[in-house]
Structure formats: C-alpha cells, structure tokens
Structure 1
C-alpha cells in the first residue's frame, strides 16, 4: 500500500481517467438494469383493469381504457404479485453460476451480453402481455437471469482495474446506480404512461439498455494494459499497485474451507439483513406514502424517488469516506469496514423508530423516511466490499454466493411484508419496521464480533492477495 503515496496517483485526474469512466459506465448499466426491473411497479396501475387504482381518478382510468396505446388486462392481484416478484427468482438463480463464470470467461462478453438480453426481454414485455400473463412472467424470469449475471460479474472488473486504495470508491460509485435507478424510474414512469402510454416505458428502457450494451463492448477492456485510450501514467499507476496480484485464471474452489469460514458467514448474514431492508424500502415506499398521505400516482412517484436519490448520494460519499480513511491511515481496514457497517445498520434502525413515533407532520415523515433509506448506503464501504478483503482470489464466486443469501432475504422480506399488510389493518407498519430493526441489530452484533478484513488462509494460494 505504500505505493499509493507515490506521485503517480496525482498525475491521473480521477474523473478524467479510464477507470472512472468505466465506473460511470457501470453506474449507467446499473441504472438501466434497475429501471427495467422496477418500472412495472408503476406501469401495473395502467396495465390492469381495476375498479379504482390508487391515485387515478375514474376519468383517468377511462382515458387509459379508451386509448389504444394503453391496453388493459384483467389480471388478479395474485397474478400481479407473481409478475412483480418473478424477476427476483431469475436474479437469485443466476448468482452463483455468474460468480463462477466471471472468473473464467470474458467480463466484456458477460456484462455486455447479459445487459443486451435483459434489455431485449424488456422490449418483449408489451407484446408478451397481449398473449397472456404466462409469457410476461416468463420474460421477467429470463430478464432476472441476465440481470443477475450483470450484477455479479461487473464487480469482478475492479480486481484488475481498481488500485487497492480506490476499491471502495470505484465499487460504490458503480453500484450506486442500483440506488439511482429506482429514483429515475419513479420520477419519469408516471409521465411516460400519461403522455406516451405504458408500453413506451418498456420500449424506452429496453432501447437505452441495448444502446448501452453496445457502448460497453466499445469502451471496456479486460486489462488496463490492453486499453487503447488509457494514459501511460494511469496504466503504470494501476499496474504498479496491483503488482502483487498473481492468480490462476481458473482457480479451484476450496468449498470446505469456505463453508467453515466464520467471517464469510457473518458477511452473508449481513447481506441477508441489507437486502431485507433494501427490498422492503424499494418495494413498499410508494405503498407507505400512499397509506399516509393518499396522493396521486405522479405525486407518489416524485415523493418515492427522494429516498432513492439521497441513498445514491450517500453511497458515493460512503465510498469516498472509506477510501480517505484508509489512504490517510486514520483507521485500520477492519475498523473502517466495521464503522461503515455500524452506520449502515444502526442509523436506519434509529431513523425507523423516529419514523414510527415522531412523524407528526408531512415534512417530518419524509425526512425520516429519506434518512432511513439513505443511511443504509454506508454499507457500500462495509459488508458489500468485505469479501474482497478476505478472499480476493475467489471474489466473483463468493460475491454470487453472498448475493444468493442476500436476495433470499429480499424475497422473504417482500413476502412477509405482504402477509403483514394483508392480515393487520391497524398497525402493520409498526410490525414491519420493528422486524427490520431486529434483523439489522442482530446482524450488526454478529458482524462487529466476528468480522475480519485480512486474507484468509484458504485464499492465500499462489500469493493472490494484493491488499
């Protein structure tokens, strides 16, 4: 790490360098991926022939039904729920295979192709809806399969492109697109439905995704030394800081050692809690706002986008904070990971309590809701990068493994939340948020006790560590 104190890093402007261009490109990929995933949450209001959708007047519903650009379908609430959640089953299924394949095959092909096919099946959803709900569900599942590949394989990019003291900054910048995507889609989907018709939502996000995949194939190269546009100073800086990284292209997996590794399990448990909270807030913020304020769809979309906007800002700041603390030797690597995780779990829990007990006004409720969602982004500098500390050699596979556990938490959270909302009409949000708080606190305690930030013995073969 002493290399990062040399002059070379200062000769490469951060946001003018190729590695930051790649980070921004990945950010855009994640924005589009999340837009394709989340847009149906709002388009469903226009797609379904319901008696009185929340936030739409009878006149608006009649206009949608009379407009050929907005065909409507008689889908039950159960079918709608299956459609919305089906994409997560695809994402969940592809995590471990994607993690393993990312250590074997070209990342350019994996990320670019998966983004293209996810966008292609987004384009197919409107015509699929004409043939029935089964085809829509199938398209969503296949979409999820390719989105899972994009989500997991892209994080392996930084093994070769990120200097050690910039890992968190670059990783959090690119992953913050997962938080910015819902913000953008909630902002504009209602307007697209009103002015162009709901099918155009899928056509627009699908077409942009196809164009972005082409841009990825043009701009991304597997290794800094092969990129034709990289400056000599940036290439030397990246290569010198990663000089100790010597790894096999297809390393064997020490499965038994992995299963016995307690730090890996606490990371997995923390991912379960993080995805639980993230899925709860991503899926149910519009419903929470509707239950509290009874606003229209476009107003709901605008209000629902604010927590995601601030979550994106906090994610970028959290990555920068973690790298500054490390580069200036203010805290040890383990202390930084624990600090970020502490903030990422404890602050949302505290602000959730404030949301439940101190929401005396509209502005107070929105402030606490924004802070609850935004402060969870501190985990970008904690649990979400911790695997790279303990096993960089197997990062792709283990990222997929922990994502499976995390996404399981997200699926369970959405299911349990739906059950609570349907069975408890008096105080469902108290139960929902208290359950979230309990899971956050329990995971945090285990992480603070058992987390590690040094390469584990089973991951040290052939001196693969560079931290």
Structure 2
C-alpha cells in the first residue's frame, strides 16, 4: 500500500507541468477568442472612410507631383525665343503668341538651377517635418503645405516675368511645401491603417506619385499649344487649392474623432491597433536607432530605391533619344508608359501583400522581403535584358518600361517596413530615409551625367551595372537583417494604446 501511494504521489507530481502547460494553452486560446470577439463582425470594406482618405491622399500626391514636374516640360516653351527683330505680319503674329507664351533668355545653367531648386527645399525640410509630424496635427500641416505649394504654382508665371531669381524662390518654397506633404502623410497611417491593410492603403496613396508625371506628360503639351504654358501652372495650382480646402473639411487626425464614420469602422481600426504602441512622443532613442540593423536594412534599401528611381526617371528620355532616335512627341509618349505601368504595379502590390497577410500565407517580414526583392531585383533583370537582349525598337521599349515600373513593388516592401518595426517613430524614420535617399538620387544623376560625358560608347553599361550592384548589395543586407515586429527601442515604456 505504501508503494502504491508513493507511486500515485509521484505520478501526480509528474503531471503538474502538463497541467500547467494545458492551463497556459487554454488561457492563450481564451485570450485569442476574446480578441477576436472585440473585432466587429461587419467591417466596412472599400467603401469606407479609411479608403476614402487613401484616395484623397492619392489625388493630393498627384497634384504636388504635377506641380513639380510640369516645369520640366514647360521650360522648353519658356525659353524658345525665336522671334525676329524686324516688323512684318509674321512678327505681329509672334508678338501675339508671346502674350500667350512669353519667352525668356535663360541660359542652360539658370535653367538647371531653376529645375533643381525644388529639391533644395525638399532636402531642408525632411528631418524637421519627420520629427514634428508626431507632435502637431497633420490636418493643419498637410493642408497648409498643399495650399502653399499650389499658391507658388499660381505665382510662378508672374514671377517669371520679374526674373529667374524670383522663380527660384518660388520653387524652393514649393519644395519645402511638397516635402512637408510627402513626408508628413506617412504619420497618418500610424492611427488610420490596420496592420492587415497597410499595404493596399499606402500603395494606393504612394501610387499618386507616379500617376502625377503620367498625367503631366500627356496633357501639358496640349495645354501649352492651345492655351499657353502659363495655363499649365494655373490649372494644376487651382486643382491643388481645391484639394487643400477639401482636406481641411474631410480629414480628421484620429479616426475616433471623425463625426460621420460608422462605429463599426472605428471599432475595427482601434481594436486592430490595440497592441500597437501609442503615438505619444518620447525622446528619440538615437543610439538604439544607430545600432539597429533592421533599421539600417530599411535605410540602405531606401537609398538604393531612390538611386534607381531617380536614375531611370531622369535619364529615360535621354536613353530613348540616343538609342531609339525618336522625335520629342514620341519621346514624351514613350517616357509616360513606365508611369502608367508603375501605377498598376503599385496598386497590385498593395492588394497582393495584404492578401498574403490576411490569409496568413506569409508572415509580415516574409511579405516585406518578397516585395523588396521584386522592387529591387526585377529592375536589375530587365536592365540586363535591355543591355544584352534588346535587338529592336519594341524589345527596347518593353524592357525599359518594365525596369521602370517594377520599382513600384517596393511600396509594400522596405518603404513601409518602418511602420512595422517602429510605428511610434514612423514619421521621423521616413524623413531620415527620404533624406538619405535624396542624396542617393542627386549622386546617381550627377554621376550618370559625368559618365555620359567621359565615355559615350559604354556609358549606359557602366551606369546600369553600377545601379545593379547597389541594388543587389542592399538587397542581400535586407535579407539578412530585416524584421517585421516592433523593436525593443520603439516600444511604449509605460502605457499601451487603448
């Protein structure tokens, strides 16, 4: 009997860990069931306020890109001074035409300074806006900045009559305003984007940056011919003013403060972000950020993305002109094709990434790595095909278009990965990565120009191989160190978002 009692006691003791494990498993299951019950049963889909916000931001991005890029095309008409000094019927016609299309004798150096001045304003404003975006309401910041950019677009034709210096001032102020809009808008999705919808919401808004140039390339030439080049700035300026007023009426910084949103959508957004750190700003953990390899993976790949994007956008017309030998009108049409396909790829990437996450096919980090690979490596593949497999006009256009457009897959990769690992510092981190990336864009454009001047015969091979090397190197680093969960240095210290 004693042995039997002893064996029974030992068996009971040995069963304690299993019982404890079973209790813990049951508690976790109960917790997950409670969390699922907190989510509303009927969640508004595409016809919802968060998607309406994404569409509104989409059109705001189209407007600021149209205001930025239109000068690249109108500059041709602004400096095309072919008038004759003698009086004749033709000179009278030309004088009347100059009223509609005034021309100026700006040197190529002045033209280059005018075109690049917008980027000086954007570079200056990146870090301050990234830090302040988590402190001050985005409704005022983005709305007033969009209005300022539109106002500068309206003032640019009168400024051109005064002189090139005033045009440069307008462009710098416009760059400050546009940099504020493009950087500050990322902070919005910290409160508005459920984790399983971040891909489609951000890709929907960011695709406006490629639709803007596409629209400009299509309509600006017709506007210049029919109405005169000043009307290009007036039209896009008025559109921007209307959007800025709409922004003040339609946007609210926090979904819970929206007076017209359904309670089910509010509950869905708030409950999906329940485990996310609150947006209250504490001191920036600079040392921890500098030591964070996942953050460096994002920064390096952002550098590679903007390097490639700036290079392809800037020199695609030059490549088409030197290789395909087409006229200006055909060049503009061919140069617009990558933007249209990039727009489609960006929207498709957003849908695919969220599909993988909602169906739990891949984890967050796997999805980010997948689309970073598509956005970094696919352009390299098509560039190599462009150099070695394009033997006629159509194959060259196809490979060049695919190389430009597949960059948009990065919208759901490293470009939003900072929202996964550090949502409370997302605005600041996007500003830092954009600032570093802009230097990459400036370096790539300048270096490509130097290579084209020194070695015209093999210049494109050198330029594209350098781009491929940077993309592949940064992609390998991203594969090794990228993460999909909130890092320790980005977590809330005391409280969590409720």
Q: Secondary structure at the match of 1:217?
A: helix
Q: Which stretch of structure 1 is more off in the superposition, 454-463 or 345-354?
A: 454-463
Aligned to 1:55: none
- Equivalent residues in 2 for 1:364-379 (5 A)? 364-379=395-410
TM-score by length of 2: 0.87
Q: Secondary structure at the match of 1:74?
A: coil
Q: Secondary structure at the match of 2:103?
A: coil
Matched, 1:163 2:232: no
Matched, 1:411 2:442: yes
Aligned to 1:457: 488
Of 134, 146, 167 in structure 2, the residue corresponding to residue 136 of structure 1 is 167
Asked whether the 8 Å contact 1:64–1:71 carries over to 2, the reply is no
> Aligned partners of 1:2 and 1:168: how far apart in 2?
26
- Deviation, 1:425, is 2.8
Q: Which stretch of structure 1 is more off in the superposition, 359-368 or 91-100?
A: 359-368
Matched, 1:182 2:204: no
Question: Any idea what the Cα deviations from partners look like across 1:13-33, whole Å, max 9, x if unmatched?
Answer: 432100000000000011111
Aligned to 1:56: none
Matched, 1:239 2:277: no
Q: Structure 1 residues 463 and 385 mapped into 2: Cα distance closer, same or farther (>3 Å)?
A: farther
- Deviation, 1:342, is 0.9
- Equivalent residues in 2 for 1:26-175 (5 A)? 26-49=57-80, 66-175=97-206
- Deviation, 1:112, is 0.6
> Aligned partners of 1:9 and 1:356: how far apart in 2?
53
Q: Structure 1 residues 288 and 388 mapped into 2: Cα distance closer, same or farther (>3 Å)?
A: same
Q: Secondary structure at the match of 1:67?
A: helix
Of 222, 235, 239 in structure 2, the residue corresponding to residue 191 of structure 1 is 222
> Aligned partners of 1:342 and 1:423: how far apart in 2?
33
Give structure 1 stretches of 5+ with no counterpart: 52-58
Q: Which stretch of structure 1 is more off in the superposition, 162-171 or 42-51?
A: 42-51
Aligned to 1:339: 370
Q: Structure 1 residues 3 and 401 mapped into 2: Cα distance closer, same or farther (>3 Å)?
A: farther
Compute the RMSD of aligned alpha carbons. 2.3
Aligned to 2:358: 327
> Aligned partners of 1:336 and 1:94: how far apart in 2?
31
Asked whether the 8 Å contact 1:65–1:71 carries over to 2, the reply is no
Matched, 1:391 2:435: no
Asked whether the 8 Å contact 2:118–2:171 carries over to 1, the reply is yes
Of 416, 422, 425 in structure 1, the residue corresponding to residue 456 of structure 2 is 425
- Deviation, 1:231, is 1.4
Aligned to 2:302: 271
Give structure 2 stretches of 5+ with no counterpart: 1-31, 83-89
Matched, 1:295 2:326: yes
Matched, 1:25 2:52: no
Of 345, 363, 388 in structure 2, the residue corresponding to residue 314 of structure 1 is 345
- Equivalent residues in 2 for 1:200-211 (5 A)? 200-211=231-242
Bigger Rg, which one: 2
